[in-house]
Amino acid sequence: MIVTSNLSKKYSSNLVLNIASLEIPKGQSFGLVGNNGAGKTTYFSLLLDLILPTTGCIVNNGIQVNESEDWKPFTSSFIDESFLIGYLTPEEYFYFIGELRNQNRADVDKLVAQFEDFFHGEILNQKKYLRDLSKGNQKKVGIVAALIGNPEVIILDEPFANLDPTTQIRLKGIIKDLAEKQGVTVLVSSHDLMHVTDVCERIVVLEKGEIVKDLATNAATLKELEAHFSGVEIV
Amino acid sequence: MIKNFLSLEWKSFFRSASFGKGLAIKILMGFLSLYFIAIFLGMGVVLYPGLKKTFPDKDPLTIVNSVLFYWVIGDLVFRFFFQKLPMMVVKPLLVVPVKRSKIVNYVLGKSVTSFFNFLPLFAVIPFGITLMVEGYPILSVISWMLTLMLATLIINFLNFIIESFSTEIELSFLPIISIAGGLFVLNYFDVISFTQIFANGFNAIYNTPVLIVIPVLILIGLYIINFKLLRKKLFLDSGLKEKVKEIQASNLDWTKNFGDIAPFMQLDLKLIWRNKRTKSSVWMVLIGLLYGLFFYPQPTYQGMPWFFAFIGIFSTGIFLINFGQFIPAWDSGYYKLLMSQNIKYEQYLQSKFTLMALSVVILFVLGIPYVFFGWEILLAHFVAAIYNVGVNTHVILYGGSFNRKKIDLSQKAAFNYQGTGAVQWLIGIPLLIIPMGIFALFYFLIGFEIACLVLGILGVLGIVLHQKLMKGITAKYLQSKYKMIDAFNQNN
């Protein structure tokens, strides 16, 4: 589904990302972990054609993202709060995104209705603008908006941060369901090793822009990751 | 502690992302201040001999005292628009061991050092010295000068009190304008003669210097009120927090008539109506619409038909210029979203175009009553409107592709130059001057009708070539996509 080759990004002489090759098959739930500055957000920004690669390219479902815009209809994302439009209400925001993705109001209503418990009664019908919601609630809106319009690729940067425990658990369920049952390719980045190991079938560890580990998740993965990040390699 | 505060401000000034821009403005301000200082200084020196010469039988000091009321009112209004309380970024200080009262005292104390408070001194001191040289009693003159300084400080603190109450309402400048206007009118029609009251007050202090206690007490009182107001606001849930209003969503289904650009048009309309900054540009439209009334009633301008085109362009295009010059910076806050969503750039720009073109048509229709001043004016406005739709919209959209400045929508508009790069100012010139130049050229070469025809043809040409032009403009935007994303991502 997503093929990355010889991808690198340099800022002046500072190499922030360097991935020789990375292939993410369709329907995989893919986790990206790494410390601050490891290149997670840079990779996602490249994938969304928000910045230009220095070398190499990413091909999303056969479409090279910096050449054509045809990847947009089947790709959706939530990177940070700058993906929200502050002066809209959550409903208006959902409808707006829906219209961009060719969904009518009924479609959007139907999808959003599934997440009523996720919203905890704090988002819909509150007569509030997005800019006036709390950080956590803003995030929920952004994540749900990324699910509108049956995308085949969903990119979520740090989806678990700022969320309350109930919502974290619910979100994990949603992500797993998307990948397993609906064949959606989900890309998630996180600092929380436990969450990623729970959710993702495959975890890639980035360090200073390079891939240092590429693991298929199993019972031992969490231990291995913890060991890696605490600096003690297990034998 | 104060040393720490000062060093924080120093750093925030020199390390801010927009330092270069800030510096240029600061230098400009520096020249402006020098200019004002020179004026005030000159006034202070010339005032006494001047008054003595013009009114030989009156005491210059009494004359000055009798106009002090106008100075107070004028200063108050001026400060309201230009002087803001120097609230430093106070949030991070709340959790460190600094007494709240200390922060408040610092903020208030700093406001005393404002340029506005020093400016009058440049006039007051030379005038006072002249008085002493002329043989006025020294003690009295000194107390008079002190009173003026106190009055300046009183205005300073009074202004902050007015501001703190005014910010709570929608049109924040209404109270100050109506109060100042009301006082002025009452005084003008002699209902209550404030000029006399103020003059008597200053004269009384001049004659009995002990009375200076009264302004001192007023000043202390105002300081305490300010202190209390600020102290209350130093909490995250009061002054430092934006108020959340319940909102009324409006049904914008009529935009569906515009087909696939409907979602963007709805978004733009909400953008305009729901943000302070854009909302005040709607009020600007009113000014633009009435702009012709400054000129047309005057016989001088009636004889200058070549000028009609300028007013026509301005009054039908005020929204176009005001709104258009910040495309796409209006959307800078969520530009990344738009760029990663399933949208066509062309639709996005087309929506902006439609909105601007509609505004031109509406403003033209609203301006039809100008026909009262002559049919030529209506004709000139009509061709100006066509020119606006056909040419100026495209020019301004093209100019927008050079836009690299983020706009923080929640900021107030008046005198907020955020997001205005040099290019934006430059673009205003061709929008207004070029059509006026063309119009004037043909008017003087051939005649009024031909000048109208030429402007109209240019506009129609633009409308006919609309599709082609939009393609070119879209390509230009696509070219600068990454630069814009990067620039809009930076906080200044």
DSSP symbol at B454: H
A185-190 and A29-33 beta bridge pairing: parallel
Residue contact A50–B340, C-beta within 8 A: yes
Residue contact A131–B410, C-beta within 8 A: yes
The answer on pLDDT for A187 being more than 90 is yes
The predicted pLDDT at position B297 comes to 82
DSSP run (H or E) holding A153: strand A153-157
Residue A102 near residue A94 (C-beta atoms within 8 A): no
Q: Determine the Cα–Cα distance for residues B226 and B254; give it in Å rounded to an integer.
A: 49
A75-78 and A29-33 beta bridge pairing: unpaired
Write b or e for each residue in B112-122: b if 16 or more Cβ atoms lie within 10 A of its Cβ, otherwise e.
eebebbebbbb
Q: Determine the Cα–Cα distance for residues A76 and A113; give it in Å rounded to an integer.
A: 19
Out of B242, B341, B485, closest to residue A72 by CB: B341
Residue contact A49–B262, C-beta within 8 A: no
The predicted pLDDT at position B413 comes to 41
The predicted pLDDT at position B103 comes to 79
Residue B77 near residue B180 (C-beta atoms within 8 A): yes
The predicted pLDDT at position A152 comes to 92
Q: Determine the Cα–Cα distance for residues B259 and A131; give it in Å rounded to an integer.
A: 29
The predicted pLDDT at position B22 comes to 55
**B325: phi then psi, degrees, rounded to nearest 5:** -70, -15
**A107: phi then psi, degrees, rounded to nearest 5:** -60, -45
Domain boundaries, chain B: 2-233, 253-488
The predicted pLDDT at position A56 comes to 92
Residue contact A85–B333, C-beta within 8 A: yes
- Chain A closest CA to B414's CA: distance in Å? 20
Q: What count of other Cβ atoms lies within 10 Å of the Cβ of residue B224? A: 11
For A88-92, which contacts have Cβ atoms below 8 Å and span 24 or more sequence positions?
A88/A129, A88/A130, A88/B267, A88/B270, A89/A126, A89/A127, A89/A128, A89/A129, A89/A130, A89/B247, A89/B249, A90/A123, A90/A124, A90/A126, A90/A128, A90/A130, A90/A133, A90/A141, A91/A124, A91/A125, A91/B249, A92/B249, A92/B270
Residue pLDDT, tens place only, A2-50: 999 999 999 888 899 999 999 999 989 999 998 888 889 899 999 988 8
- Top-confidence residue, A214 or B305: A214
Which amino acid is residue A31, in one-letter code?
G
Q: Which residue ranges in chain B fall short of pLDDT 70?
A: 1, 12-26, 84-92, 167-172, 235-251, 280, 410-427, 491-492
Q: What is the DSSP string of A51-117?
A: S--SEEEEEETTEETTT-STTGGGEEEE-SGGGS-TTS-HHHHHHHHHHHTT--HHHHHHHHHTTHH
pLDDT, mean over chain A? 88
Residue contact A79–B336, C-beta within 8 A: yes
Q: What is the mean pLDDT of residues A127-139?
A: 87
Q: What count of other Cβ atoms lies within 10 Å of the Cβ of residue A116? A: 11
The yes or no reply on domain A2-230 and CATH 3.90.1150.10 is no
Q: What is the DSSP string of B80-94?
A: HHH--------HHHH
Q: Determine the Cα–Cα distance for residues A204 and A212; give it in Å rounded to an integer.
A: 8
Residue pLDDT, tens place only, B359-379: 999 999 998 888 888 888 899
Q: Could you tell me which residues of chain A have a Cβ less than 8 Å from any Cβ in chain B?
A: 48-52, 72-73, 75-77, 79, 82-89, 91-92, 96-97, 99-102, 127-129, 131-132, 149
Q: What is the mean pLDDT of residues A156-172?
A: 89
Q: Determine the Cα–Cα distance for residues B486 and A204; give it in Å rounded to an integer.
A: 27
Residue A232 binned pLDDT confidence (cut-offs 50, 70, 90): low
pTM above 0.80, yes or no: no
